[in-house]
Structure 1
Amino acid sequence: MTMLGYAGRAGVAQGKDADLTATALVLDNDGTRVAVVGFDLAFLHGEMLQGIKNAFSEVLQTPESHVLLNCNHTHCGPTMKGYFYDDDPRQHRMRADYEARIIEEMTILAAAALENLDEARLATGTGDARIGINRRERDDVGDIILGENPDGPVDHEVRVIRVDDLQGRPKAVIFAHGCHTVTMGPKYLKWSPDYPGVARQLIESALGCLSIFLQANAGDIDPITGIGADEDNSDAKNRLGFTLGSEVLKVCSSLYTDTERGPRIIFGMLAKASAYPRIPIAEEPPSPIAAKEIAVELPLMEYPTLEYAREMHNKCLAELEEAKTSGADQVKRNVAQRYVYCARALLDRAENNRKRSLDGTIQVITIGDLAIAAFPGETFAASGMEVKRRSPFPHTLFCGYSNGCLTYFPTKDAYPKKGWSFFRRYHIPDMLFLQSYAVGSALVPGTAEMVVDKTVGLLEEMWNERGEVQPAAS
């Protein structure tokens, strides 16, 4: 089966370096039930996304707005409907079969999570993992390219949620961080969850419980080791995974759910010594659960004329035919095929006068004084930091790549100073709206900031509705 993530990849998957997994955590309090599910996939598209949402909603008997689906955005997962570089009927059938099987298996996963519901306590904390760097580098002629920008925004925070049984033994760990999963590059032909898989393996072997990685805001962040340029970059993958996983373990070691620091005691016969023994938590702090989801309209810039759209479509078809008849290598055919797909999408929008906007959602799940906000896009680090800074909740996660993935959401200052243009070739993926996600045009500058404002607004609304809630353990 073909692999998603790099148009410059030739060949199909030849094996795996680890399983691609889906891991679910279900939480319930007084009849309000939510699910957080992490996937080793690049993203989920409309039909597959809806099927998985339906599966969890039906099994858990909870609204779809209470189900959060986050993808780690691995570039070594399978291609999917709408995100492929070929027009091979056999590959299309495999993709359809794979997606149908995933939806079926989600019913089993949801049922297993529900069956394992038990009393638990939750604590949350933060760490620092310096595994990423801003990737929007300016070259010698002033163009933004995919490289390294040490002065650009980057969020090193790792947010950790520890879920324990009533004896303080770990049952699950959620950890969120924002960095592209591209240590394994286009020459690598095996399925891989990339560095999050290594981090999870380390955490699970140490704590004896399941862990879920949530991709945060990686739209402009690459690993400090760069995109994998060799056939196998497992060393870089392992180094980043160990760095992230060990930081999660460090934070987990500081979190207690069953005991608290007790009063000072003095002991000793010859010399006096003092201690603060830990004692059982006297009173369970309330941790009500709530979830909300709002719809947002995300404006696009004007489409080109119908005449231009037709001209572009015909040109792309001719280039694809040339690539096929000239014996061009698979990479060139991949690129030509992708351009045809995107040009066809643009032509459809122009011919049928499609609306100049995308339909998105903002979801917030709260557990006591913890909030998890989720958005279906490749959000930038600065957006994530701004949501967390302005959130009224003491503990906040903001995760892109959740409940779908519409396109990149660059901050206003990331756009070209002279404005974005259809007729200019860009060298950074977050400006390739048409080529990357076939959305028809660029997002109107300021859309990312609007998403931040609406997310903060929803957080404030839910904070004001929560009443008096004591802080969770931290």
Structure 2
Amino acid sequence: MARSLDVSARLISFFGVWLIGCLILFGSWGAIANAEESEAKHPEAGSTAIPDLLIGSAQQDITPPTGFPMSGYFHERLATETSDPLFAKAMVIEQGDTTVVWVVCDLVGVTRDLYEVVSRKSESLHGIPAENHILSATHSHTAPDYKAHLVRHLRGELETDESESQDSPYATKLVDGIVGAIGEAISNKRSSKIVAGNATQTVPVSFNRRSVMKDGSIRTWQGESNSDRLHAAGPIDDQLGLVAVVDSKSGRPFTICSSYALHLDTVGGTRWSADYPALMQRAVAENFGEDVLSIFGAGTCGDINHSDPSRKERNSCEFIGHALGETLVEEVRSMLSKSIETSSEPSPQLKYRHAVVPLPLQTLTKQKIARAKALVPRAREGEKIDFEDLVAANRDVQLDRLRNDPSWIDDDDPANVSPMIAWQGIGDRLPVEVSTITLGDELAMVFLPGEVFVDLGLAIKRHSPFKTTLVIELSNCVETAYLPTHAAYAQGSYEVINSRTKPGSGEKLVAAALSLLRSAAADDAPAKYETLSELTAR
């Protein structure tokens, strides 16, 4: 009997130990599972997990009414009709606490006044810091000359002007259209992946428009029919930079960004037109879906246009748009097919870098100002003025306004060709901005002000530590006008005459861009802001 009780006690003890062990084991598994779930929802500080990349895009129509002034040339044109609508196209990129806005407008340029009113209004409405906004222009020469109109609107003068239409002024449509596109893009954000690359544009559509002449001078817009022309004074950039933004869930692209170095002056006339990017949008819609947005950023094309020096006929807008559209479609299809193999990779880290780079403005003399005051009104009255003299006169009026805030220019003065508010009387340096958006080590997008010579953009691409680098000009201000290379300043001709900053300014932008790219490649900080004033002393 005692032996039976002893065996029973041992069995009870064994099963008790076994049960406790099971409870401990299952409890451990549950704790591990709960810990993993908690970690997935709330990564610990210092975790290497990268949040989802959220991207949204949208567009809004910013076409002015007929009768509104057109930009692009040194004489007045009033629009008579619309060939194709003008748009503001926005893309919003968000990861964690960092959000960046990029908007491309079918405009000849983004004035500082337009940039500031849009970025501040967007910040107020959407909570995205103003300095995290990048506004670029395509440089269409069949877009509105809105500068004076916007200045009057910002001063509140249009609302009380009986000569204005009873409808809201165009400036309201322009600002609200850009800000509205940003808001729609924010609403459209979704988990996204990016695929980036470059295509070589084999069909010749771009040409360096500066030529070396037999006497050693440089002249712009010279064909081979001129026996004194020797050869092009510089290169072209035949790379079409591409970024396909793909919906992570559906695997379909919903936005395709591109950049190419070629002046948008292929249409002419008095009809509103977005120029050849409108045909690229058509190619994207026909091949990837009507809902897929094409966003085109102008590459560094300050000395590049569409006129083949060997031919009398210029390449048409249709020819250029179809050629670039075909290249885009073919390369994006190839990029997307290759990306299927890496579709499970984690999101690349978004990094934003922003720098203010003070560029020295050219100096002025009283004689230059007096000459400009006399020439500009005569040209406006229809008198034939030497083209380069007229370009120089317009330059000097704007320089005087930037440097000195002159009292002699008022709204009714016939020499008032450069109305402005934000940078009037800014001083002897222009505080332009250089920005970069990078995603992992795959993609860098560099944004520069003004009309930049192609050599400068090529230098940035050549030294960039990222696999694909797009360099986009005419961002956040147009007041610099042309930004030639240092060597080009010594050679002269149209672009040099039509510049505002001193020699070496373009190289300062290159140095700033490369500094930001190095920071993005080596520093894990998602966003950094600085003033690179030391570059002005180099």
| Both proteins in one fold, TM over 0.5 | yes
- 1:375 counterpart letter in structure 2: L
Letter of the structure 2 residue corresponding to residue 462 of structure 1:
A
2:320 corresponds to 1:240: yes
What's the offset of the Cα at 1:32? Answer: 1.8
Identify the match of residue 242 of structure 2 among 147, 160, 180: 160
**1:195 and 2:276 are equivalent in the alignment:** yes
Which residue matches 2:506?
Answer: 448
Question: C-alpha separation between the residues in 2 aligned to 1:174 and 1:168?
Answer: 17
Which residue of 2 is the match for residue 146 of structure 1? 221
Listed one character per residue, the Cα deviations across residues 160-187 of structure 1 (whole Å, up to 9, x for unaligned) are: 10011123211110011110011113xx
> Secondary structure in 2 aligned to 1:119?
strand
Deviation at 1:347, TM superposition (A): 4.8
Match of 2:185 among 99, 113, 130: 113
Asked whether 1:372 is paired with 2:453, we answer no
* Aligned-residue identity in percent: 23
Q: CA deviation at 1:144?
A: 1.6
Alignment of 1:389-408 (within 5 A): 389-405=462-478, 406-408=480-482
Contact 1:56 1:106 in 2 (8 A): no
1:458 aligns with 516
RMSD between superposed Cα atoms in Å? 3.5
Q: CA 1:60–1:346 in structure 2 vs 1: closer, same or farther (change >3 Å)?
A: closer
Residue by residue over 1:261-299, the C-alpha shift from the partner in whole angstroms, topping out at 9 and shown as x without a partner, is 4xxxxxxxxxxxxxxxxxx74x42231212121111111
Give runs of aligned pairs for residues 278-293 of structure 1, distance below 5 A: 281=343, 283-293=344-354
Partner-residue secondary structure (3-state), 1:175: strand
Looking at CA atoms only, which structure, 1 or 2, has the larger radius of gyration? 2
Instruction: State yes or no: 1:411 paired with 2:485.
Output: yes
Residues in 2 aligned to 1:103 and 1:445: alpha-carbon distance in whole angstroms: 34
- Please identify, of 354-363 and 16-25, the stretch whose mean Cα deviation from structure 2 is larger: 354-363
Cα distance, 1:62–1:257 mapped onto 2, change above 3 Å: farther
Tell me which amino acid in the other structure corresponds to 1:408.
Y
**2:332 aligns to what?**
252
Name the residue aligned to 1:385. 458
Deviations 1:294-352 (A, max 9, x none): 11111134322x3x1453245326735xx74xxx47x7699999877655445554686
CA separation in 2, counterparts of 1:91 and 1:391? 54
Q: Distance in 1 between matches of 2:97 and 2:387?
A: 49
Which residue matches 1:78?
Answer: 144
* Counterpart Cα distance in 1 of 2:447 and 2:194: 20
Q: SS at 2:198's partner residue? A: strand
Match of 1:265 in 2: none
Change (3 A) 1:319 1:217: same
Q: Which residue of 1 aligns with 2:111?
A: 45
For the 8 Å contact 2:432–2:449, the answer to whether it is kept is yes
Counterpart of 2:234, as a letter, is G
Q: Does 1:429 align with 2:501?
A: no
Q: Given the two structures, how large is their TM-score scaled by the length of structure 2?
A: 0.69
SS at match of 1:113: helix
Could you say if the C-alpha distance between residues 453 and 3 of structure 1 is closer, same or farther in structure 2, counting changes exceeding 3 Å?
A: same
User: Please, what TM-score do these two structures have when normalized by structure 1?
Assistant: 0.78
Q: Do the aligned partners of 1:173 and 1:211 also contact (CA within 8 Å) in 2? A: yes
Q: Among residues 201, 207, 228, which one is paired with 1:133 in the alignment?
A: 207
Instruction: Give yes or no for the alignment of 1:219 onto 2:302.
Output: yes
Counterpart of 1:316 in structure 2 is: 375
Q: 1:290 to 1:58 in 2, by over 3 A?
A: farther
The aligned amino acid for 1:287 is: P
SS in 2 for 1:3: coil
Deviations 1:33-75 (A, max 9, x none): 2222111110111221112222333344222232221111000
The Cα shift of 1:6 comes to 1.4
Read off the aligned partner of 1:207 and give its amino acid letter. F
Contact 2:84 2:273 in 1 (8 A): yes
Question: CA offset at residue 467 of structure 1?
Answer: 8.4
Q: CA deviation at 1:30?
A: 1.9
The gaps in structure 2 that reach 5 residues or longer are 1-67, 151-157, 224-230, 407-424, 527-538
Letter in 1 for 2:458: M
1:30 aligns with 2:104: no
Shift in CA distance, 108/12, structure 1 to aligned 2, threshold 3 Å: same
The CA deviation at 1:98 is 1.9
- SS in structure 1 at match of 2:101: strand
Query: How far apart are the structure 2 equivalents of 1:258 and 1:124?
Result: 11
Residue of structure 2 equivalent to 1:182: 265
| Corresponding residue number in structure 1 for 2:358 | 297
Aligned residues: 414
Q: Secondary structure at the match of 2:90?
A: strand
* Offset at residue 107 of structure 1 (A): 2.8
Distance 1:411 1:334 in 2: 22
Partner residue in 2 for 1:171:
254
Aligned residue for 1:416, secondary structure, equals helix
Q: Which residue of 1 aligns with 2:7?
A: none
Choose 101-110 or 197-206, whichever is displaced more: 101-110
Task: Say if 1:32 and 1:311 are closer, same or farther in 2 by CA, change over 3 A.
Answer: closer
Which region of structure 1 is more displaced relative to structure 2, 350-359 or 70-79?
A: 350-359
**CA–CA distance in 1 between the matches of 2:299 and 2:232?**
20
